[in-house]
Amino acid sequence: MNMAAILRSITTSTSRYEERADGVIVQRLLTTRTQTITDARENTSAFVRIAGGHPRRVLIDIRIIRALQAGVREHYADPELAKWCSAVALLVATPGGHQFGRYYMSMNPGPLPVLMFTDEAQAIEWLHRETSDQPTFAGSAAL
């Protein structure tokens, strides 16, 4: 597995965001409890903060996702959030994760590359291939 150094992280009530030295932002779900719209807004704020004002390659680890409150899926599929992403890899392992991934992919507002994976190393490799012409902004987030 590609083990890039973690430059900084932000932890919310449901997720941890890590900025890797290779420029990838990783969101790891930390709990199986039902995620609320308040949680989703907190996560969005943390993501925008760690992205540092630049579109980033993003790995979203939702392998332990169980349930989402009404409106949470729509919140995460908001086109305004997509402007902070240059590519998104969804790391899934459960039926709920696959369902959320399919929904997110169907709501993709345009040319944003989005793909589901079950293997983290393959997801990271894809993110680098998909955005190889994109600059890396590692260390740019002002926290």
The SS3 assignment for 121 reads: helix
In a domain, 85, yes or no: yes
Number of domains in the chain: 1
**134 found inside a domain:** no
What is the band of 41 on the pLDDT scale with cuts at 50, 70, 90? very high
The number of angstroms, rounded, from the C-alpha of 78 to the middle of its chain's C-alpha atoms is: 13
72 within a domain of the structure (yes/no): yes
pTM, two decimal places: 0.84
- Asked, for residue 25, whether it belongs to a domain, the answer is yes
Pick 23 or 77 by higher pLDDT. Answer: 23
Mean pLDDT, to the nearest integer, of 65-69? 85
Residue 47 is part of which domain span? 6-129
Give the up-direction half-sphere exposure of residue 140: CA atoms within 13 A in the CB hemisphere: 15
Express each pLDDT in 4-24 by its tens digit: 899 999 999 999 999 999 999
Could you tell me if residue 136 is inside a domain? no
Dump pLDDT digits (tens) for 112-139.
899 999 999 999 999 999 875 444 434 3
Sorting pLDDT into bands at 50, 70 and 90, what band is 141?
very low
How many other C-beta atoms can be found within 10 angstroms of the C-beta atom of residue 123? 24
* Spatial contact of 55 and 127, defined as CB atoms under 8 Å apart: no
> Looking at the domain assignment, is residue 54 inside a domain?
yes
The verdict on residue 139 lying in a domain is: no
Give the three-class secondary structure for 91: strand
- Indicate whether 73 belongs to any domain: yes
- Return the pLDDT at 132: 57
Query: Which pLDDT tens digit goes with each residue over 42-55?
Result: 999 999 999 998 99
- Among 15, 99, 94, CA closest to 58: 15
Q: Residue 39 is part of a domain; what is its CATH number?
A: 3.30.750.24
